[in-house]
Each structure stands twice: as structure tokens, then as C-alpha cells.
Structure 1
């Protein structure tokens, strides 16, 4: 009878995956992450770009500072929309008809086409209504704001959808850049030791003496506000965590028998570091990094909230919460009058961070040798 030999690495991978997906928290984390990935990938379909050159600019209807609650399709005659009727180059509208529209319909909104037709018939007459209705509908039809609008009439739904891409960009770029710096320095310091280790670690101690937020804000203020500078600042601060963590792992691995055997055989240091030490020391660092992605999104959102991030109207969750700062407490009569301005971006931030934290916990349980075979 033929016997089948299973690759030990394949068996270990199967065991790891089964351990991860037996954990209910891991299933929730990966499910949430799958939803966010799907939203980010389908953003152009879920919320067609307002500006194709810069899809992260949120569309807005007017400049009213008071947020408006979630709404369905309507016909809205804001100043901008009425002007667009006049400026339409595909079909002109007579000055007298435009004057009537401007006088009778400015700042009005109709919840249905039937109500719009009745008002147009009364103001323009049946003939002009039939003639110019397609032009008027083109520039006044509002598909509605599923999640409402924030201050400045920026569409919250659009900001949530495109803000998902921005959250991934911030978290992955910041943690990736910090990992590259921290792992490189930690590998060099831990493997060679001596004065190289002292020099690198004393520099890390100096950087650690300054609180993370204070140092990051100082860097952003020095280079100018904006999400790009926030990402650079956070990467230049976050790397110090990975230096210490990776160095600690390497200090225990470099004295193992397989490393000493490689040195005895004359294997170059760079090969020992990359082929023997790095693969065995990287797992704890990656687990911490997966949990830090969410933390970086929260930190970037906080910096946007205090005015160091993107300009108003940019699809960034922290910036959206900043636009709602004057309406968080609602009105004296109704404290929840503007609940939607904080609820939707706040929920997006919480769920995104929760997904990364649950995934990080699951990976830690799966790869931790002390809990792995329990």
C-alpha cells in the first residue's frame, strides 16, 4: 500500500490556519476587514468620483454651515445649481426664464418630480416647463445624501467610501515605512552588538524620551499640514518601537546552534542575518505591526481633527469628524439633532481599528509558541 508523505511545512501551515479560524474573534476581524477591502476596491462604483483628477475631494451642495440629515432623491435649487442652468453650454435658456427661476426657486427644494412640475407650471407655464424641464432636472436633481451632509454640505456617504481607501493608505504606508527602518536598525544592532548596538540604542532612547504625539506634531508643523506630512511624521516616530522589539528577538536567536553552525562554516554575516535570523525573528514584529495599523489611523484622525491634516472637504475620516466639531452637542432642545455627522465617520474609524486589533490578536495566538499547541 502506497504511503503519502506530507510536507511538514504544509502541515504546519494547515495547523496555523485552522487555529486562526477556530477563533470567533478572528472570524469577526477578517470579516470586517473583508468588508473594508471590498468598499475600498469598489469605491468608484459605490461613490462615482466628483472630481476624476482627485477623487478624494468630497462633493458638496452649497455652503450652508448647518449639517443636513440623511435624505433621498430631491430637486434642489442652490445658488450653484441655478447658475449651472444658465452656464450650460449644451442647451441655452432665455434670460427671462432664468430670471423667473432665480427669483421663484432659489434655495427651494422639492421632494418629488410631481411637486417640481406643479411649481414650474405655476411659474413658467406649461410650454416653457415642457421645453426646459430636462435642462432644469439635469442641474437640480440631487440623488440624496444617504448619510446626510456635514458642515459646508459635504456628502458624508462619499467621504466614508473614499475615506476607506485613505485609511488603508495611511495605516499600511506608515507601518510599512516604520517597519523598514525599525527592522533594519534592529537587525544591525542585535546581530553585531558592541559599539554599533550602543550607538543605535542610545539614539532610540533619545527619540523615546519625546512623547510620540508631541514629536509627530512638531514634525508636521515644521514641514506643513497635510496627510502626506502626517504619514511621514508618524513613520519617523513609529520606527523606534520596532527597533527595540526586533533587537530583543535577535539577541535570543543569534546564540542558537544553527546560527553558530553557520558562522563556523564561514557563511557571510549578511546571509546569516537574512536567511537564518530574520525569518525566525520577524513574526512577533509583524503581529505588533498588524495591531499598530489601526493605531496609526486613529492618530492620523486625531491630527486631522486638530487641524494638521487634510483641508476641509477631503475624504478623510478624521477631517470629517473635525467638520462636525461644532455640532457634536446638537442643539439646546435636541442634543442628538446632528448625530449623523459624528456617528458615521466615528463608526467607520472604530470598526476599522477593531478589525486590525482582532486580526493582530488572532495572529498572536496562532504564532505564540507558548500558546500554539494548547
Structure 2
């Protein structure tokens, strides 16, 4: 931890991660609910969510209904509108960009955590079984992983999402079906190293069963690399999700999705005649959110890798 705290870049990444986490948690306060979201929260005024002693506050913060993740539509005009008091980041295709970025932080963070945790769990179990037992079991598992690696990850994800139809569950399923193999390969390598150590032989000699050897003695000493990869993946998964949305394969139109906001801006990147950067705001703010979010996790992941890597001491 001392090495991590001494890494200024990692601390900067941690500060950004905490900022995004706070934005996600307090999205109802930063972008108050309106329309169907307010109706489903049973509030008469958006000011009702500001009182921490009310039930509405806690429901909005911890269990907001799906309608709250729909970007507020403030206009039916296709033309972008510049930033103003009612829409600080402007309006894109009639949708409030600020509302989409704030509530989109929840979707981005939730998808990233869910996908990475499932990948870690599946990859760790498969990698532990493959590395510990070796032989035919290891051979079959590794050849199957080689087949997965032979396909570009994003292309395989696009195919799966297209077949299964876009939705939150489909996106999580597609990214986990294509992402666990990396964790399995890393955990397998660490397991091969750890299982040959003397304390594992001692535990086996004392009568420890395979399950106890794997999950009590071997695995805890072989997952440091995988945990570091989780932090790095938390910064790259949103890029893949945004790419799907940009291609029209992400969440349904209207959901608070950063990639979808970038997709809305495609027709207006050039700007109006005589002002090539006249519509800069509809691209800049969603792109800045994606870049800062990915940068924060990558800085933190690099710091964790350097702090826990014995070769850097």
C-alpha cells in the first residue's frame, strides 16, 4: 500500500474512479428525475429526492426504476442545441446530453463491474482446474481457449449480440462468453508455478483433498495477476460497450449510454456551414467521459501492478 500511495498517477486514477462512483451513486441528485422516472419514484417534485431522511432519496439512490435510465427528451428537433442552463452540456437529437452522461455513469460502472466479476469467477475456476490437474484436462481446456483467441474479441461479441438481440443481459453475456479465457490463461500460469512449491506438497502429504488444495492453498497465492487484470479490464470494457452502441448494437435508443450519445453526434461532427466546430459539445462531453473513465482505471491498474509485482521492488 505504501508503494501504491507513492505512485501519483495511480492516486490520480483512484481519485477519478471515486469521482465516477460518487456520480453514479448520487445521479438522482445531480440529474433530478423527471417524467416517468418521477412518476415511478412517486414524487411530485424533483426536489423531493434531495432529502436524505425521505424514503424517496434512498430509493432513487439505490434502486432507481428503469425509467430513470432513459435520457430526458427535451426537444423533438433533430438539430443540436448549444449548452444552456436547462441542458448544461447541450441537446443531441432532442436528448439532454448532461442527463445521459450522469445516468450513463451508472450503466457503465454497473456493466463493467458485472462483466469483470463474472469473467474473473469463471476464468479463475477454469484456470485453476486446468493448471492443477494438467494432462488431458489441461490440454482440452487450453485448445478450447486457443479457438476463442483465434477470433477477434469485438467481432465475436458483435456476432453474439446480433444473434441474441441487444439488451443489458445480452451485452453482459456476450462479453463474458468472450472474456473469461484471458483470466483462465493467466490463472493457469500462476497455478503451474504455485502447485510445485513445498507447502503444497506438505498439505497433500497431510491428507488435504484436491478441492482444499486448490481453493485454500494454491488459488489464494495465484490470483494477484488476475485481480490486477480486473482493474485494467474495468477501463476497457466500457470502450467495447460504447463501440457496440456506436454501431447500433448496444442498448435501445434513449437509454443513458455514452456510446449511444457519441452515435447521435455522427451526423453533426462537421458542424454547420461556416462553423466546422459549431456542434463540438455533442461529441466532446460524451467522449471526455469515456476517455476519463478508461484512463482512471488504467492508471489505477498500472499502479496496482507495479505495487504488487515483486520484480519491481
Q: TM-score, normalised by structure 2?
A: 0.89
Q: How does 1:70-89 map to 2 (within 5 A)?
A: 70-72=83-85
Query: Is 1:365 equivalent to 2:301 in the alignment?
Result: no
Structure 2, unaligned stretches of length 5 or more?
A: 38-64
Partner of 1:268: 209
Deviation at 1:331, TM superposition (A): 2.3
Partner of 1:146: 88
Match of 2:264 among 316, 323, 328: 323
Q: How does 1:1-374 map to 2 (within 5 A)?
A: 17-50=1-34, 51-52=36-37, 53=65, 54-72=67-85, 144-151=86-93, 153-371=94-312, 373=313
Q: Which runs of 4+ in 1 moved over 3 A?
A: none
Rg (Cα) greater in structure: 1
1: CA distance between counterparts of 2:146 and 2:115? 21
Q: Is the 8 A contact 1:312 1:323 kept in 2?
A: no
1: CA distance between counterparts of 2:175 and 2:156? 9
Deviation at 1:208, TM superposition (A): 1.1
2: CA distance between counterparts of 1:164 and 1:62? 23
2: CA distance between counterparts of 1:220 and 1:35? 31
Q: Is the 8 A contact 1:324 1:342 kept in 2?
A: yes
SS in 2 for 1:65: coil
Deviations 1:70-92 (A, max 9, x none): 012xxxxxxxxxxxxxxxxxxxx
Pair 1:334–1:227, CA change in 2 (3 A): farther
2: CA distance between counterparts of 1:24 and 1:330? 39
2: CA distance between counterparts of 1:24 and 1:33? 14
Root mean square deviation of aligned Cα: 1.0
Deviation at 1:366, TM superposition (A): 0.8
Deviations 1:323-349 (A, max 9, x none): 111011212311111101011110000
Q: TM-score, normalised by structure 1?
A: 0.75
Structure 1, unaligned stretches of length 5 or more?
A: 1-16, 73-143
2: CA distance between counterparts of 1:326 and 1:229? 28
Deviations 1:138-175 (A, max 9, x none): xxxxxx11111011x10011011101111101111111
Deviations 1:36-74 (A, max 9, x none): 1111111111111233242100111231001100012xx
SS in 2 for 1:255: coil
